Amino acid sequence: MKKVKGLSVILAAVMLSSCIFPQTGSVKAAEITGEESAEAPDAGNAAYAEAEQSEEITDDEEKSDDAAVHQKASATTDMTYISIGETCQETFSAESTEKYYWFDLEKSGRLTLSANATGLSRLQYYIDDIGGDRLWSKRSSSTGSEKKIKTNETIDLTAGTYYLSVISSGGDGEFSFSLSSEDAGESFKEENGGTDNDRGYANPVEFGQTYWGQLARNDNADYYEFTLSASSRLYLSARAQIKSLYLYLYDAGGKELWKKYASTDSAAKTLEADAEIDLTGGVYYLAVKSASATGPTGSYSFCLSCTDAKESFPETRGNLNNTLSSANAISSDTIYKGQIAANDARDFYKFTVNESSQVTLDATAAIPWVYYHIYDSKGKEVWKQGVSWNKTIGYSSLTKKHTLSKGTYYFAVAQYSNYTGNYAFKMHIHNYKTTTQKATTKKNGSIRKKCSCGHVVSLKTIYRPKKMTLSKTVYVYNGKKKKPSVKVTDSKGKVISRSNYKVYYSSGRKRVGKYKVTVKFKGKYKGRMSKTFRIKARKK
C-alpha cells in the first residue's frame, strides 16, 4: 500500500472531484443536483446501522469539514487503489490523518467495510462516487481505555468506481480494513448511479421470468417496460431483502396508475409484495423505488404474469368505448365480455329496441362493486344499479328487466371506487313476430306477438263461431230451388263476417226433402258448421 502524503484535512468529495474533473473541483457534493440518486451528504442507512459505536455525520460537522477544505484545497492528493477482498494496513499519526482510496465494484451489490483500529479515538468514513457526489458517511468512535475501533458497515452500490476516505480525528495508531462485496445478481447491470432510473431508460421485461435488481445508495429507482397485447389482469410478485420500498405502475404517457408501499414482515424477514392489477392493452412501466430519498436499500426480485380478459371489444390505452359516441353496438342474445381496469373506468354499449317492450339484462362481474347504467339516445340515464359481489363465490350476478320504448339505448358498465375486474353480460331484446291462432267451433282463437324466447303478447281474441242460423228452415214445395241465407255468430253473439267462410248447399233443393247447408271457415277461423232445412209438400 502506498501511503497518502501531504494531504490537508479536506472533504474527500471535493478533492476527488478535482482529481477526476478539475473544472468542477470546488463544487460541493450537496450542490450537484439533477440526479435523482444524489443523496444528502449526511445520508445514512438507518436500516442497517448496526455498529453501536458508529454514528452518522451531521450537517454541522459536514460544514466544518467544508470550511477546512477551502483552507487547504490546493493540497496535492494521493490515492491508493484497493481491491475487493484485500486487507490494508495503515498507520495514523498526528502528521498523517487522512487516507484516500479508490476501488472498483464490478457488479452492483452490497459492499461491506470491515475495519479495526487501535490507538485512535475517532474515524470518519466517506464514500463518494466518480463524479464526487457524497454517497455515504459514517463516524466510528473508540470505546474503552484501549481506544479500539471496530467498524462493520454495509453499503449498497451499483457497479462502478468509488472513492473511500478515512479521516482520523487524532491519536497514533494502527488501522486495518478490507472491503468485500456481495453481488446483487442484477438482471440488467447498472453502473455509476444507475441507468434505468426513468421510463425513457426502462429495461424491457417478459412475462413469466424472474428479474433481479437492487436499490442502492446511489440508485433509488429502477424502471421496467412491458407490453400487454390485450386487456389483462397483471400479476406482480416481488420479493426483497429491503426494509421497505414502493412499487409503481405507469402508462406509456407516464401517468401513475397504481402504487404500493411494501415493508418487510418482521417475522418472515423478507419483503413480499403481491398484487393483481387490471389493465387495458398497451405499454406499461413498473418502477421499483426507494421508500424515501435516503430510504432503505438492497436487492429485490420480481416476476410479472398476466391473463387475457378476453374482451369482446379489445381495448388499448383505455380509450376505445368510454363515451356514448364510441359505444360498441351489441346484439340480442349474445354474451359480451369486458374489463374494468385501473386505466379504464367505463365501457359503453349501444343497442336498439325495435318496439316498446321489455329488455332483459343478465350481468355477472368478478368485481367487488360495479355500476350498471342504461341511457337513452340523448344520454339521459334511465336506470342505474350498483351491484356488489358475493365474496365467497367471487362474483355478482344480476338479472333485470326494463320496459323500454322503441329507440336507441346505451348500456354502461362503470367503475365504483377503485374496484376493477372482468364482467360479462347478455341482453335479450324481444323481437316479435305476429302469430294467429285460428278460432275453431270449440275454442276461441287469438292474434298474438311472439318472440323466439317464447314470450307472447296477446293482441286480440278471436271468439269461436257458436251459432249458425238459416234465414228459413222450412219451405213449401213450389217447384223452385231454395237457398236460405246463412248467419253465423260468435260466442259473444257477434255476427261473423261473410268473408270468413264459404257456404255450401247440398244439390237439388227443389223437391220435397231435407237439405244441408254447410259453412266452411277460412281466415282467422277454421272448421265447419252445418244446418238443415226442409221442403215440405204443398197441402192438397
Which residues make up the interface to Zn ion (CB under 5 A)? 430, 451, 453, 455
Q: How far apart are CA 424 and CA 364, in angstroms?
A: 5
CB 427 → Zn ion: shortest distance, Å? 11
Cell 344499479 locates to 385
Compare residues 49 and 451 and give the one whose CB is closer to Zn ion: 451
CB 455 → Zn ion: shortest distance, Å? 4
Of the candidates 164, 132, 166, 137, the residue with the CA atom closest to the CA atom of residue 14: 132
Task: Return phi, psi of residue 11, to 5°.
Answer: -75, 125
CB 410 → Zn ion: shortest distance, Å? 20
Compare residues 99 and 430 and give the one whose CB is closer to Zn ion: 430
Compare residues 142 and 357 and give the one whose CB is closer to Zn ion: 357
Question: Going by C-beta distance under 8 Å and a sequence separation of 6 or more, which residues neighbour residue 38?
Answer: 29, 32, 133, 218
Decide the pairing of beta strands 421-429 and 335-340.
Answer: antiparallel
Compare residues 350 and 430 and give the one whose CB is closer to Zn ion: 430
CB 459 → Zn ion: shortest distance, Å? 16
535, three cell numbers? 221442403
Q: Which residue is nearest to Zn ion (CB)?
A: 451
Say if residues 242 and 271 touch (Cβ distance below 8 Å). yes
CB 399 → Zn ion: shortest distance, Å? 14
Q: How far is CA 199 from CA 95, 203, 224, 249, 298, in A?
A: 50, 9, 8, 11, 21
Q: How far apart are CA 263 and CA 72, in angstroms?
A: 45
Compare residues 289 and 430 and give the one whose CB is closer to Zn ion: 430
- Helix and strand element counts for the chain (H, E): 2, 37
Compare residues 150 and 448 and give the one whose CB is closer to Zn ion: 448
Q: How far apart are CA 99 and CA 6, in angstroms?
A: 10
CB 448 → Zn ion: shortest distance, Å? 13
Compare residues 303 and 451 and give the one whose CB is closer to Zn ion: 451
Compare residues 398 and 457 and give the one whose CB is closer to Zn ion: 457
CB 209 → Zn ion: shortest distance, Å? 50
Say if residues 415 and 342 touch (Cβ distance below 8 Å). no
Helix (H, G, I), strand (E, B) or coil at 264: coil
The interaxial angle of helices 59-72 and 12-20, nearest 10 deg, is: 50
DSSP state of 253: T
Say if residues 190 and 221 touch (Cβ distance below 8 Å). no
Across 341-464, the runs of DSSP E, i.e. the strands, are 346-353, 357-365, 369-376, 381-388, 396-404, 407-415, 421-429, 432-437, 445-451, 456-462
Q: How far apart are CA 341 and CA 279, in angstroms?
A: 5
CB 457 → Zn ion: shortest distance, Å? 10
CB 350 → Zn ion: shortest distance, Å? 19
Compare residues 450 and 531 and give the one whose CB is closer to Zn ion: 450
317, three cell numbers? 390505452
CB 404 → Zn ion: shortest distance, Å? 13
CB 273 → Zn ion: shortest distance, Å? 49
CB 212 → Zn ion: shortest distance, Å? 58
Residue type (1 letter), 319:
N
CB 362 → Zn ion: shortest distance, Å? 13
Compare residues 38 and 363 and give the one whose CB is closer to Zn ion: 363
Compare residues 141 and 360 and give the one whose CB is closer to Zn ion: 360
DSSP state of 4: P
Compare residues 449 and 520 and give the one whose CB is closer to Zn ion: 449
CB 361 → Zn ion: shortest distance, Å? 13
Q: How far apart are CA 260 and CA 247, in angstroms?
A: 5
Of the candidates 240, 105, 123, 106, the residue with the CA atom closest to the CA atom of residue 114: 123
Helix (H, G, I), strand (E, B) or coil at 24: helix
Compare residues 242 and 429 and give the one whose CB is closer to Zn ion: 429
Compare residues 430 and 464 and give the one whose CB is closer to Zn ion: 430
Using alpha carbons only, give the angle 186, 86, 116 rounded to the nearest 5 degrees. Answer: 105
Q: What is the DSSP string of 483-506?
A: ---EEEEETTSPBPPGGGEEEEE-
Report the largest interatomic distance among the alpha carbons of the chain, rounded to a whole angstrom: 173
